[in-house]
Every structure is written in structure tokens, then in C-alpha cells.
Structure 1
Amino acid sequence: MKRVFSVFPFHFRRAASRFLLKIVPARRVVCASVACGALLACTPSYDWRTVMNNDDGYEVTLPAKPRSDERKIEIAGKSMTMRMQTAEAGDAVFAVGTVVLPSADPQLQRATLDFLQQGLARNVNAKPEARATQVDLAAGGRVFGSEIEVKGEGGERRESRTIHARFVARGAHVYQVAIVSDKAPPREQAEQFFTSFKLF
């Protein structure tokens, strides 16, 4: 069966908190046990570990063992591959998505960045108001990126969701680094995640 997932493929462990972004219908959902979900919902744990992704050129610290997947997407009339690594802690999903472009064309980079930003915000019926940020390079230095924080209601039950995401293009890759949750995780946990993301 062909694997299909949205720009941000995830679900929350608690049945009451399931939320799938809808740019593409999700068919692949990974479930956790009710007991485990209830425990995590009450006492979120952050088991931080550094993940090196040599294929996509980044490292990041995630709060749990990540899951990986990929699919084909179309942006600006071009077919591309999007790969995802996601980890869950409590009711929050931490994820890094990488879109592999056919070239490092700046116009295509911008179209892809806009596609990702609009797609995330649309799922909570919000308008992304991006602000400038900087993303560290593992070898030192920084590159410019953008950042959004949106909150709204999404899903069939119109549940409240918070999305905090950063976006950056480098060469033939565009990255989406995001946290989606019922409510924003503690600021120090979010900062640890975002500042740990470094490009090779």
C-alpha cells in the first residue's frame, strides 16, 4: 500500500487529542496503548537524545525515540520527496521535515518555504505571520530562516492546537522544524529543541 501523510504527519497519543493536518489525507497512523497515553498525558517526560541525520544534513535533539517516514509531494508543479522524523512527549509532537528539491533554485526554495508555512497554519485556520530568525550551522555560523507561532482550532472536533515552527532553506533542501501540541510546552523544552537543530 502506498504510504501517504500530510505536511506534518502525526497524531496525538490521547484519543481526545488526535489531530491530523489535512493537506493530504493521512492513512498511516502509529498508535500507542491507552495506558501509555494516559501516563504521558499526566506526566510528560523528555528523554532527550541527539539524532544525526547525515542523509538530510542536520542534527537535532529530540525528546523521545523518533519515527521516520517519507512520501512524494508536489510543489510549484515539481515532484519532490519529503522526509520526516517525529517524536512525542506528552501531548506535543516534535518534528523535523526535509523537502529534497531538484535543485538549489532560490525561487523554488521560496515556493517550498511558503508551501510549508501556509500548510501548517491552514490546519488551525490561522494565517502565518512569519518573522525572521537564524539557524545555526554545525561548523559555526548561521543562516537566515523564518519562524511562525499560530494557535487555532482544527480537526473534526475543532480542538485547540498550538504550532511553533521554524523554516530554513539550504542548498537543495528545505527544512521544517516544528512543535504541535494542545498547549505550548515549557519554554525551556521548546528552546532546547529549536536551538539544537543545526545544519551540516
Structure 2
Amino acid sequence: MTVFTQWFVMKRVFSVFSFRLPRAAARFLPNFASANRLVCASVACGALLACTPSYDWRTVMNNDDGYEVTLPAKPRSDERKIEIAGQSMTMRMQTAEANDAVFAVGTVVLPSADPQLQRAALDFLQQGLARNVNATPDARATQIDLAAGGRVLGSEIEVKGEGGEKRQSRTIHARFVARGVHVYQLAIVSDKTPPREQAEQFFTSFKLF
């Protein structure tokens, strides 16, 4: 079972990603409450897009893992132990659901900032995520913003394929970056590609401290 599969099924065991992206959250994440359809409120964070009932954007500050991001609904958090390159590590995840898509930020805490270990973790996450739709990741370079200004080099993949017991078609768009003892994975998983402006809202809002 891949790391991303373990995160999203939580208490249920599947051999691959459980691709029941819901119209009600309980159909996909049985231990998650259905996303609240809140009245839109303005978010004081630059030039944010106008809210809709499906996208209730709010800024999340994660001081422990060193980032901020805007998510389209109130996030849920969890953490698990995983093994990368023969070493046990902690992976923490924040997820939010909106308009039949799951938006997630995962953070792997490395035992050291060794560049080879960073690379191993990045490869592990990219390969594991793509395997959920039986795809091969074709990573391309991208830039990740720093909250204090400037950017660091990251990578990005977009894969589409079939997975799960019912072989349902799913789209995954994800970015990855390593900084110090943290490796980050931002991902949108959906049954269809979300509007480009919503995806950009999520990805460009992510900033490292």
C-alpha cells in the first residue's frame, strides 16, 4: 500500500487508493465529516478568488512544519509512521475536501537534511502517488515560494489513470519540495480536473517559512 493510499483511506484497508471521490464526503472518507457548505466569507490574504459554496478558502498556518497554505474547507489532520530508504519517519497530513476533490498537504519529517535522503523521499512520494492511478510520474521543475521572499526549486506532476477496486478514472496534480529536514507534498485528487483557477489558488498559496 502506498503512503497516499494509507492517508486517505485512514481506517479502511484497500490495496490501492480508494477512489470513491464523493458528492458527499462520507462516500470517500468514511471517517471524515461531510464538508460544510458554509456561506462565503472574504479571506484577508492578497487577491484571493471569490468564494463559492464549494470553495470556502481559508489560510492555514502550520508553524510546526514551516508552511502556510490556503485550503478550500476546514482541514483535518493526522500523522503516521512510514519507512523511506530503510528509515522510519513521520508523515503529517492536512486534507480538505471541496467540489468532489481532495486537497492535501503532506509533510515528511526526515532524520537529517542529507540531500540524498531528501531525494529518496521525493522519489518515494512521487512514485507512490502516481502508482495509485497506475501511471508513471513525469516530473517537471517548478518554483515554490518562500514566505520571506524568494523561491526554491521543486517539482510537479500531473497524472491521470484508473485505480481502486472499481478501476475508476482519477486525476492527480501534485507538487513536491524539500527544505531542511522536511519534504512536502501538495496534491489535488479528483474525478475530474478542477477549475484551473482553483488549482492555482491552492498551489500558489503554499509558502515555506
> Residue in 2 aligned with 1:7?
4
Structure-1 separation of matches of 2:64 and 2:72: 21
Structure 2 counterpart of 1:30, one-letter code? N
Contact 2:2 2:129 in 1 (8 A): no
1:136 to 136, 140, 145: 145
SS at match of 1:156: coil
Identity, in percent, stands at 85
Contact 1:13 1:32 in 2 (8 A): no
> Residue in 2 aligned with 1:30?
31
1:120 correspondence with 2:120 = no
How far did residue 30 of structure 1 move?
1.8
Structure-1 separation of matches of 2:145 and 2:117: 22
Structure-2 separation of matches of 1:18 and 1:167: 28
Task: Classify 1:117/1:17 alpha carbon distance in 2 versus 1 (closer, same or farther; 3 Å).
Answer: farther
Contact 1:17 1:159 in 2 (8 A): no
> Residue in 2 aligned with 1:98?
107
TM-score (norm 1): 0.84
The 4+ residue runs of structure 1 with deviation greater than 6 A are: none
Structure-2 separation of matches of 1:180 and 1:16: 13
What number of residue pairs does the alignment pair up?
A: 183
1:66 to 52, 65, 75: 75
Structure 1: stretches of 5+ with no match in the other structure = 20-27, 38-42
Cα root mean square deviation, aligned: 2.5
Structure-2 separation of matches of 1:107 and 1:137: 22
Structure-2 separation of matches of 1:47 and 1:160: 26
Task: Classify 1:155/1:17 alpha carbon distance in 2 versus 1 (closer, same or farther; 3 Å).
Answer: farther
> Residue in 1 aligned with 2:166?
157
How far did residue 48 of structure 1 move?
0.1
Structure 2 counterpart of 1:109, one-letter code? Q
Structure-2 separation of matches of 1:183 and 1:132: 24
